Chains A and B, each alone.
Chain A
Amino acid sequence: MTTTTVTGPKEQACDTLLAAGHTACTGCGEALAAKLVLGAAGRDIIVTDATGCLEVFTTRFPQSSWEVPFIHSLFENSAAVASGVEAALKALGRQNEAKVIAQGGDGGTADIGLQALSGMLERGHNVLYVCYDNEAYMNTGVQRSGLTPFDCMTTTSPYGEYSWGNKHNKKDMPGIAAAHGIPYVATASVAFPKDIENKVKKALTIPGPKYLQIHSPCPLGWRSNPHLTIKVAKLAIETGLYPVFEMENGKITKVRKVKTPKTPVEEYLKIQGRFAHLFKSPKGQEEIQKIQEIADRNIEKYGLA
């Protein structure tokens, strides 16, 4: 029987496992997040990736930024392909040679890919699923997704006479993942790189399915200044709009606290064009108040204060 090497090339081709020269936009949060995930995971991984911005900007013909084995699946099936990879490694008796990481954006995770993800979590595959959450379908032209926040303006949730933007609340994906009874669920943000690295490293030591959701600002879709990516990401946390926490075996074990006094949500909203309509008329204040209530509920629910 012939064997092939599962792990990546041993020679150091570049400094990071996500090589420079990809075509992400200036200030892209997702590019930064992916680089951190790969760096923390190390070379001995096999990566699957749903169609989306990350796949597009890292695989521009005739090059690839991926210094590890990489499978670009379709839009809906990253978790299912990863399930197969992991099961095959086990069948080959090679499960100790490489860890499997499945990736998707928020649309590929919470909408079209939810069924495949649920199956993967339920069957208990030893896979780390990473959702890069930039809160809309950026690759196809900024359409809303299940993780788009309330009142956010996108091309399919426009602001106008009859609409304040996205009518629906952000789907509680970490809660849905945790409801499968998996051992590790966490959220993170590009605002805190070390935290992402620690969570990836920790997750990869835990057997079974893991879910990590990383808040990744998108200057193009959020209409924010590219040099403010980290500031925007920080404000999402400080206002309580993006709770950062760890959940082990269904219980929250660690949270990133918000400062007292808490930062009003306006501070976060006003530096992003996707919320600019809320500041155009006095009625917008009522909408901002609704968003403040979402933040307040988060602070209470996750014990962020």
Chain B
Amino acid sequence: MPKQLLQGNQAIAMAAESAGLKFFAGYPITPASEIIHEMVNKRHIRVLQMEDEIASINAIIGASLAGLKTMTATSGPGFSLMQESIGMAHMMEVPIVIVNVQRVGPSTGMPTLPAQGDVIQCIHGSHGDYFPIVFYPNSVAELYQYTIMAFNAAEESLSPVILLSDGYISHLYETITPSGDFEIKVRSRSPLGSGNRHFTGLSHEDSLPKTSDVDNYRRLITRLQEKQQSVAQRYNYYEYLECSKDTDTLLISYGGLSRAAYYFKNDFSLYRPIRMFPVVEEIRSIASRYKRILVMEMNTGQYAHEIERILHRNIENIPILGGRIDLTEMKQKIKQKMNE
């Protein structure tokens, strides 16, 4: 394919089409609306504009069970509304893709500056235990690539896969070459027909409800967890840039903010998770080479806490809040941290 100048959200829509998307349901919200605008102009994708985000996610769950590859796209407020149904889709093992283009929260926040405040919500937003696969690219080309990965991972894991973006990269225009080289996983489930098939959010065995059997519930959750972990391992995506100078510090950042973090590549080693969850195992061996670990993110320390929990060591976090990405401020905050 020739080179194209694309907006991040356009790249998501285009990649979704190449990945086999056939049904999209959504509700207007900045900074994600361009995705539905693109979708309504695609002849072979069925689009429903729903009355809210609760309806949107449930429509794609229904359409997925009925036999289509499906997706919705939203921002933080809509993602919050979807949470109960995300848990349901995990319990029912429904392959769907959810795009969350993050903006400043909580609530209406600062419409609609970029943020990274929904990181933990991706894995703990719904009640109960579930183990989602989450990708967070940092360029228009990567949005294209990981949209396709998200569809593939959804089919392989039979679960909702989340593609995180933010108002910064989704509204960025970059020249990319949309590639047709990616493997596209085929539809994993046969569509609903006339046979007897049962789907439920209740605890179940062989898809039939089993709500008072404790051992069965434990087996179910263990099976779901192991399945998610094993599928995730096929998508071990991260970026590690070892500093050419001798440094004892590893700087972790991701998404839109990590674009600015490249500026520090001659001072520190850089690590960028792309598969955010489950956390990529390699972080353990990479981190072991450094005395200090800084996590810079556009929230008050959501991923820093997760890394701290996994590495069992002290992590320093640098919050960049309020949607402003400013190198001078970042430099000063890092310097201050290094002098502490």
Contacts and interface: CB of A to CB of B under 8 A. Distances in A.
B77 A156 contact: no
Specify the main secondary structure of chain A where it touches its partner.
Answer: loop
B108 A51 contact: yes
B30 A141 contact: yes
B51 A156 contact: no
A76 interface: yes
Nearest to B110: A61
A222 interface: no
A158 B28 CA distance: 15
B40 A111 contact: no
Nearest to B53: A112
A146 B51 contact: yes
B36 A156 contact: yes
**Size range of the chain B interface in the assembly:** 10 to 19
A26 to B, nearest CB: 22
Interface in B103-162: 107-108, 111
A143 B49 contact: yes
Nearest to A136: B28
A156 B40 CA distance: 6
A168 to B, nearest CB: 10
A69 to B, nearest CB: 18
B237 to A, nearest CB: 32
A141 B33 CA distance: 8
A143 B108 contact: no
B51 A114 contact: yes
Contact of A156 (B37, B43, B52, B81): B37
A56 interface: yes
A143 B28 contact: yes
A157 interface: yes
Contacts, number: 49
B107 A74 contact: yes
A92 B236 CA distance: 58
B212 interface: no
Among B37, B47, B107, which residue has the most Cβ atoms of chain A within 10 A? B37
A56 B36 CA distance: 22
Interface string A132-169: 00000100110110100000000111101010000000
A155 B32 CA distance: 13
B108 A74 contact: yes
Given A74-B77, A76-B52, A158 B40 contact: yes
Given A74-B108, A75-B77, A160 B36 contact: no
A211 B28 CA distance: 25
B268 interface: no
Contacts of A43: none
B37 A141 contact: yes
A74 B52 CA distance: 12
A35 interface: no
B168 interface: no
Contacts of A141: 28, 30, 33, 37
B198 to A, nearest CB: 28
A234 interface: no
B56 to A, nearest CB: 10
Nearest to A141: B33
A75 B51 CA distance: 11
B51 A111 contact: yes
Given A111-B51, A146-B51, A156 B28 contact: yes
Among B33, B47, B107, which residue has the most Cβ atoms of chain A within 10 A? B33
B29 A140 contact: yes
Nearest to A143: B28
Interface of B: 27-30, 33, 36-37, 40-41, 43, 47, 49, 51-52, 77, 81, 107-108, 111
14 contacts: A51-B108, A74-B108, A75-B52, A107-B28, A111-B51, A112-B52, A114-B51, A140-B33, A141-B28, A141-B30, A143-B36, A146-B51, A156-B47, A158-B40
